[in-house]
Structure 1
C-alpha cells in the first residue's frame, strides 16, 4: 500500500495542471479508488483533494510571481476565472495572488509528500477475519459531521434522545452477528474529511429475512469479508486509536483492503460511566490481488 500511495503522489505532480482520474489510476495500481482515498487521508492527515489543491497553489505561486497574466495562470490550473483561482489561492496562502504579485508574499508551501512504513512491532492488534452473508443494520439514523477524535456531540445527543425502552426493544430485535447494540457509520466521504457528513445509525444487526418495524431505518450490509478489531480500554480514545492504526499499521502489512460498506462498532461491555469499554470494530474488507512476479 505504501508503494501505491507514493506512486499516487508522483501522479499528482504530473497532473497539477489538469485533472487526475483517481479511479483509473487506482485500477492501474492494482487497488480501488475507495481504499486509496481512505488510506491517503488516514496517513497524510488530509484528504487527497485537499493535498492536490495545496500542491497546485504551491506551484502556482511561482508563476504568480512571474510575468504571466493571472487569468492565464488561473486557466492553466483548471479555474474558469481569476476570482475562483483567487479564492483557492487565498485558502492556501492566506493572501490573494494580486497581493503576492505586488508584495512578493507571504507564501505557504505544501511540500511533496513521501510515505514510509515504520515497523515497531510493539502494538499488536487483536484481529479476526470473518465471512458473513448479507445482513441488515436497523435502528435510528441521523446525519452527523465526521469527528476524528473525542466524543461526537451530535451522536451523543442522538442516543440520549432515545428512551431507555427503545434500547431494550432494539436489543430484542438483534438476531445475528455483530451482536448487541451497534454504532454504525455509513455513507462516509471516501476522503474521510473531518466535518463531512455521514449517516450514523444506533441499532442492531438482523438477517435479511427478519421483518423490520416500519419506524426503523435500515442500512444494508452486503455479503462479504469483515476484519474485526478487538479493543479494550479508555473510551472512545482506545477505539479511535485502533481505528487510526488500521490505516497506519494493519492495512499496509496485510493482504486486505477496504471495500465500500458501513463501519460498525459493537460495545461488548462498558463501565457505568462509559469511561472504559470493550469493543469490536468491524470494517468491510476484500483480499488484495497478489503482486505479479517480476519478469
Structure 2
C-alpha cells in the first residue's frame, strides 16, 4: 500500500507537468491497476496524509500556479487554463481557498503563500499503539436505532453526537438494549456515510442503536442500516476518551493495514462500548474488511 500511495503521488505530479492537466485524475482506474479498491485507497491516503486526495491535488495545483505567478507569468488566464480552470473567476476562488489571497496580489507582491510540498509516504512500524485485533466473519445483519446527520469531527468530542444521544430518555436506551440480539452486542455508536476521504465538517450519518439478526422484526420508528455478510476487523481499545479511540483509528491506517493482508470495504464503522465514563472508555472498534 505504501508503494501504491507513492505511485499515486507520482501520477499527480505527472499530471501537473502537462501543459494542461485534466480536471480530475481517475483514482478508480488507478486503484484497479494497483490491485486495490478506490474506497481503501482514498481512506488510507486521507488517514496517512491528513487530508483527502482531492484536497492534496488542489493544493499541489495551486502551489504550482503560485510559483508561476511569482516567476512573473504575464497571462493570468493562461495560468488558470493550464491548471484546469476555464475562467479567471473559478481559478481565483480555488487559489484564494488555498493561499488566502488573490492570484493578482501574489503576482504583484510575491505572497503571502501557503505552499503544499510533494508528499512521500514511508512505512514506519513504531508500535506506539498496541494492536489487539480479531478478524471475525459475520452473517448478514442490521443496525437499528435512531440516526441523525452530524458534521464529521476528527479530533475531540463531537458535541452534535453528544446532543443526539442526550435527547433520548433512559427508557429508550433500555428498549434498544432489549431489541439487540446479535454481535456486536450492546448499545453501539455507528458512523455511516461520508466518502472515505471526506474532509472535517462533511455530514455523516450517526446511528445510536444495536445490532439485530436479519429475521428480527424492527419497530417502525427506528432507522435501519442493512449490512451484508462479510469480515470485520475488531480492534480493542482502553484509555482516555476520546483520545485513545481516535489514536487507535489512526493506527489502523499507519500501522495495521500497511502490514496485514486486509483492506477496508465499504460500510459503517462501529464502536461498541464495554465500559464508559466522561473521561475513560473500554471499547471495540469494528471495521468492515476484505482480503487484499
TM-score of the two chains, using structure 2 as the length reference? 0.95
Rounded to whole Å, the distance in 2 between the matches of 1:192 and 1:70 is 31
Unaligned runs of 5+ in 1: 289-295
Q: Is the 8 A contact 1:263 1:283 kept in 2?
A: yes
After alignment, is 187-196 or 52-61 more displaced? 187-196
Distance 2:112 2:9 in 1: 26
Preserved CA contact (<8 Å) 1:139 1:218:
yes
Contact map agreement 1:189 1:197 (CA 8 A) in 2: no
Contact conserved, 1:178 with 1:205, CA < 8 A, in 2?
yes
CA deviations over 1:221-264 (Å, ceiling 9, x no partner): 22110000011111221111111110111111111110000110
User: Is residue 31 of structure 2 the alignment partner of residue 26 of structure 1?
Assistant: yes
Shift of 1:109: 1.7
Distance 2:242 2:114 in 1: 35
Deviations 1:200-231 (A, max 9, x none): 00000001110110000011222110000011
- Provide the secondary structure at the position in 1 that maps to 2:150: strand
Shift of 1:192: 3.2
1:14 maps to 2:14:
yes
Distance 1:206 1:5 in 2: 38
Tell me the distance in 2 between the aligned counterparts of 1:94 and 1:246.
Answer: 34
Q: What root-mean-square deviation, in Å, do the aligned CA atoms of Structure 1 and Structure 2 show?
A: 1.2
SS at match of 1:14: helix
2: distance between equivalents of 1:12 and 1:261?
A: 28
Equivalent residue for 1:118? 124
Query: Which residue matches 1:224?
Result: 230
Displacement of 1:124: 2.6
Task: Give SS of 1:40's match.
Answer: helix
Indicate the residue corresponding to 2:50 in structure 1.
45
**What pairs with 1:154-193 in structure 2 (closer than 5 Å)?**
154-193=160-199
Q: Would the alpha carbon gap of residues 211 and 13 (structure 1) be closer, same or farther in structure 2, given more than 3 Å must change?
A: same
Structure 2 gaps of 5+ residues are none
Does structure 1 residue 104 correspond to structure 2 residue 94? no
Alpha-carbon distance change, 208 to 268 in structure 1, aligned in 2, over 3 angstroms: same
> SS of 2:272's equivalent?
strand
1:258-282 deviation line (CA, Å, top 9, x unaligned): 0000110001122xx4321210100
How far is 1:91 from its partner?
1.6
Give the C-alpha shift of residue 68 in structure 1: 4.4
Q: After superposition, give the CA deviation of every residue in 1:167-221 in whole Å (9 maximum; x if it has no partner).
A: 0000000010000000000012221311111000000000111011000001122
Aligned equivalents of 1:106, 1:241: Cα separation in 2: 34
The match for 2:290 is 286
CA spacing shift, 1:170–1:21, aligned 2, 3 Å: same
Q: Which runs of 4+ in 1 moved over 3 A?
A: 65-68
SS in structure 1 opposite 2:275? strand
SS at match of 2:57: helix
Contact 2:129 2:248 in 1 (8 A): no
SS in 2 for 1:15: helix
8 A contact 1:222–1:261 mirrored in 2: no
Q: What TM-score, normalized to structure 1?
A: 0.94
Shift of 1:99: 1.1
